[in-house]
A and B are shown apart, each in its own frame.
Chain A
Amino acid sequence: MTISRVSDAQSFSLLVDRTGQLQASLQTLEQEVASGKRLFTPDDDPLGAVAATRTEASLAALAQYSSTSSFGTDVLGAEDKALGEAEQILVRAEEIATQQASSLLSPAERAAAKEEVHGLLEGLTALGNSELGGRRIFAGLALDGAAPFAAVPDDVSGYDPAKAYTGSAQEFSVKVGGGPSERVRITTRGDAVFGSSLQALKDLWTALDTNGDTAGTLAGLATARGDLSTERASVGGRQAELVGRTSQVKSLTVDQQKALSEVEDADLVAVIARLTQTQTALQAALTAGAEIARTSLVDLLRV
């Protein structure tokens, strides 16, 4: 378009349009500098808005998987500790059974051993009743639930290990990933874990009470200890899985945050450079505008 004739209204409206556009870009740039973001409404960058929204959703899910994994790790850690202590109890019981198998011991020593085994049984029951944050870790993590294992009576005949467990029959799994199958069981029912141990300790107790052969209980004690260490290995395995998940989630989170930042964060160096550039352009436009009024014949005429 060639313009051969310029009207005054034209030069002024051109100035107004141009400075208006420059001021609008200045405002956007200032907003970007002030907020550090480059996306404000989806029409700024529709695909970027989709990516940002999806990434936010992924980050929210990852945060939950991370919380859940660390919760599961805590629970499994407490289980591992309890199982370790239970193993120590059985080791001690095996020592007692071996000692008491010798006929050289006095009745008083036998009574003391019986007392100790009673204590061991109480100790194992207490481990089975362990709590973490008000939740029974060997009873399906029920909140504020009653103790799942019955207290050990003073009289050996009144104790039935098979009926000692009254806790939840439900095991507790946690969700550590997006898919419905990405779940990790973090509890084992108390009766399954401690059943054989309780029975073996009771057998030892009975043998001591009835002056029977304690050596015969050694096999049962060894099997029970084996059960505990098998479960402990399983707990350790699941704990390792959760720790692995946690670090995986952490690195995914870092990746996603980086992706989000790439989509929605302003490149401050570029923005500030453009800001300076636009300010200069605005200044130039305004200076040129002031010249429009000066290059008029009005000033030169003495009419």
Chain B
Amino acid sequence: MAISSLLGIAQRALLASETALGVVGNNIANVNTPGYTREVPDLESDPSALTPQGVLVGSGVHVAAVRQVIDPLLERRLLGAETDRQEQGAVRDQLTALAGVLNELDQPSLGDAVNGFFDAADALARNPGGSAERETFLGRAGALAGELQRRSGAVASLQRGADDAYVAAATRANDALGQIADLNRAITAAEAGGQSAGDLRDRRRTALTDLAGVLGIQTVETKEGITVSAANGAVLVDGGAVVHQIAVREQGTGLDGHALHEAGLSDATGAFIAVPAAFASGELAALARVRDGELVGASSKLDSFASALVTEVNRIQTNGGAGAVDLDGGSTAGVPLFGGTDAKTITVLLTGPDAGRRIGAALSTAPGDNQNALNLADLRTATQATLGNATFSGYVADLTGQVGEDAAQARDTAQASQALQQQLQTQRDSFSGVNLNEELTNLLRYQRAFQASAQAINVANQMLDELMQVIR
């Protein structure tokens, strides 16, 4: 056996150990890097060579590849779980905000405003001639209108917020699509040149996770990288190219009167293609669902409430159009209390210094008549056919209960999908994450290998020395 071959083997072993130590060192360095996938050096023995003595002897070791420890099936499941997590999370956030807007347990609540209004009607019925009672009644009517307007406005601005988030999510998805295409190219190029592209693969994984949060995707790994398609099968990224971008166009009108948006796909020509099936899951789907569903529903419930209130109070104030009698003995026919038709537009029409005197508390001109004020006070417990036979305060209670129930359900669903995602993430971390104890053991192992290889060089060197001495 040639001494020089021992030198060669030792030298390659040194290099392999050095590379392995580098991989281990990189793992240790990235112990806290989010999304980092641990790497292992694939050591491979060099092909054996025939010695002059006719024996096959191994010729050393080399690092064949630096491989990411990754489970592709688990990665795909994680993407799916991410879609679900973001979808349920967005629903939960929106519905929790809605429950906050219609929170009757907080002050000032709509229910308190309703109770205050009817309290003032009762006080007016006790003393129909009192100017303080009349002013208080108008004041409480104004407060009730104000609370309705405030809630209607808050729901509209929640809807606007959901739409803004919708557009922003579409933009994020396009960023992610661009990144995935770029990284596909970079990874293919790097790996074709024999380089390890672990960091690029990690970055692509992050981009895929971002995209999966926005809309449900399917991925297939090919030689050119990862092909991404939407839930309906439309290809979004093929190799290094973005085939379809997410486009957003105006569609429908929001509660605040401005346009809402709809996501679709656009190809190289830039034309908008409506594909609802592509946006059936993920954050985009969740935001559209709540924006067009629960928020519109809550707003229309507030509108029904306001409309019934305006109609009923005005019916009594004007005595069904025939006219009740105000404090100056005048008729209230054509002198309604509330204006507007819904929660957004409801206002108190009686204003000015003498407004209180225009309340039709009486049905006759007899002084002290409180008959119509009693009718107003009766509204407190009157069931409203237009509100599903609920009383005004009962309707408010049911509304808060309903949004509360929606929010509570959304929270539970979100928690479940979060738990599933976490479980998969734990599995992934367990499989692909860095364990310092393990890396330190590997560090020792390769260090020992390095030391032994160095020792082999020393031995070869001594053998050569001894040969040299024979020659001298």
* Residues of A participating in the B interface, judged by any CB pair closer than 8 Å: 1, 3-10, 12-14, 17, 37, 39-47, 49-50, 52-54, 56-57, 60-61, 63-64, 67-68, 71, 135-136, 139-145, 167-170, 172-175, 178-180, 183, 264, 296-298, 301, 303
Contacts and interface: CB of A to CB of B under 8 A. Distances in A.
B369 A49 contact: no
Interface of B: 31-32, 34, 36, 38, 95-96, 99-100, 102-106, 109, 111-112, 114-116, 118-119, 122-123, 125-130, 362, 364, 366-371, 374-375, 377-378, 380-382, 391, 393-394, 396-398, 400-405, 407-408, 411, 422-423, 426-427, 429-438, 440-441, 443-444, 447
Contacts of A303: 443-444, 447
A175 B377 contact: yes
A53 B393 contact: yes
B393 A41 contact: no
A178 B118 CA distance: 12
A53 B396 CA distance: 8
B99 A43 contact: yes
Given A53-B111, A174-B125, A297-B437, 8 more contacts: A5-B435, A37-B105, A41-B99, A41-B103, A60-B115, A68-B126, A135-B129, A180-B375
Q: Is the interface of A mostly helix, strand, loop or mixed?
A: mixed
B422 to A, nearest CB: 8
Given A40-B106, A42-B105, A53 B435 contact: no
Contacts of A56: 104, 111-112, 115
Contacts of A144: 129
A140 B403 CA distance: 47
B426 A1 contact: yes
Top 5 A-B pairs ranked by shortest CB distance?
A: A42-B404, A7-B433, A143-B129, A142-B367, A142-B368
B395 to A, nearest CB: 10
Contacts of A172: 368, 370
Residue from B32, B38, B106, B430 with most neighbouring chain A CB atoms (10 Å): B430
15 contacts: A5-B435, A7-B435, A8-B32, A41-B100, A50-B400, A53-B396, A56-B104, A57-B391, A64-B377, A67-B123, A142-B366, A168-B368, A170-B369, A173-B374, A301-B444
Given A7-B433, A53-B396, A297-B441, A43 B111 contact: no
Given A43-B99, A170-B368, A53 B402 contact: no
Contacts of B432: 7
B397 A5 contact: no
B400 A49 contact: yes
Contact of A143 (B31, B368, B375): B368
A297 B436 CA distance: 8
Nearest to B440: A297
Given A8-B433, A10-B429, A303-B443, A57 B397 contact: yes
Contacts of A174: 125-126, 374
